[in-house]
């Protein structure tokens, strides 16, 4: 349990950092600025910045002005912590000394994939953007890493072409009204990470997740039929699901 807990806390801390990154819009501004309350602008001491625990300890309020802090923060932090802990459990297992070099490099790759997807999730959700400065380097790193792990280059390129092309066609047909250019790059990223079959799976899962979320929002009256939902957000979640359960999902269908 010890290592799982360490990975969870590490994931939660990274989640906290990614939220600051997405909020401030750039990595540089995330590492340089000091964290302050959005309402009273008080600079927050480290004890108020511990992921998940600070929010619980302060009962979801700023320690100074007592204004409430969104539940989204601890939820995202805990979510990313769990996501990384799950990778650890499934790839490294209970005895880390038994994991070989290949298992470690797959684990490291999947952690990188998950963090990239988490960042894109936040950017699309909060800003409606999938910035090139995140998607493009992620595509290159994903391709190289997968090739080093012995993946078939054709499979990865076909995945990029097909999933990226799926969005490119929509982009061209609608003249950029249905999807943005960022979606095309994110589609290509799915292919570079997951290959052809995985990329297509991610598309399906994203539509299912998106439909479920849309139905919930409609039922709660928090969205109308015209509300545009950020598709990159769903694609990011779907990418993680396929990364972890891709083979199980495939076995379910075939
Ligand atoms: Zn405050």
pLDDT for residue 35:
87
pLDDT for residue 99:
84
pLDDT for residue 180:
86
The answer to whether the Cα torsion of 196, 197, 198, 204 is positive or negative is positive
> Among 168, 185, 76, 170, which Cα is nearest to 130's?
185
Global pTM reads 0.93
The answer to whether the Cα torsion of 39, 52, 116, 211 is positive or negative is negative
Q: For ligand 1, an ion, list residues with CB under 5 A.
A: 37, 39-40, 62, 64-65
pLDDT for residue 33:
83
The alpha carbon of 73 and the centre of ligand 1 are apart by a number of angstroms equal to 15
pLDDT for residue 113:
97
The answer to whether 130 and 145 are in contact (CB under 8 A) is: no
pLDDT for residue 145:
96
Give the phi and the psi of residue 131 in degrees, each rounded to 5.
Answer: -65, 140
The alpha carbon of 61 and the centre of ligand 1 are apart by a number of angstroms equal to 8
Consecutive sets of 10 residues in the chain, 254 residues long: mean pLDDT of each?
92 94 91 87 90 92 92 95 96 85 94 97 93 96 96 97 96 89 96 97 96 92 81 96 94 84
Number of Cβ atoms within 10 Å of the Cβ of 46 = 8
């Amino acid at each position: 349990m010890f290592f799982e807990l360490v990975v969870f806390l590490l994931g939660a801390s990274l989640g906290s950092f990614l939220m600051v990154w997405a909020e401030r819009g750039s990595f540089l501004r995330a590492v340089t600025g000091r964290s302050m309350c959005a309402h009273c602008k008080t600079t927050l001491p480290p004890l108020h910045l511990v992921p998940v625990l600070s929010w619980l300890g302060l009962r979801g309020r700023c320690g100074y002005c007592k204004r409430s802090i969104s539940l989204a923060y601890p939820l995202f932090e805990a979510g990313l912590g769990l996501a990384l802990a799950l990778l650890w459990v499934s790839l490294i297992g209970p005895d880390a000394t038994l994991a070989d070099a290949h298992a470690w490099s797959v684990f490291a790759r999947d952690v990188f994939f998950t963090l990239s997807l988490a960042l894109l999730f936040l950017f699309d959700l909060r800003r409606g953007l999938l910035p090139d400065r995140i998607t493009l380097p992620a595509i290159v790193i994903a391709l190289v890493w997968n090739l080093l792990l012995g993946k078939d280059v054709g499979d990865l390129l076909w995945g990029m072409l097909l999933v990226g092309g799926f969005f490119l066609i929509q982009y061209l047909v609608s003249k950029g009204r249905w999807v943005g250019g960022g979606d095309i790059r994110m589609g290509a990223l799915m292919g570079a990470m997951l290959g052809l079959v995985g990329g297509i799976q991610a598309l399906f899962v994203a539509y299912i997740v998106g439909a479920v979320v849309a139905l919930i929002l409609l039922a709660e009256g928090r969205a109308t039929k015209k509300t545009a939902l950020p598709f990159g957000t769903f694609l990011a979640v779907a990418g993680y699901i396929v990364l972890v359960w891709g083979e199980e999902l495939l076995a379910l269908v075939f």
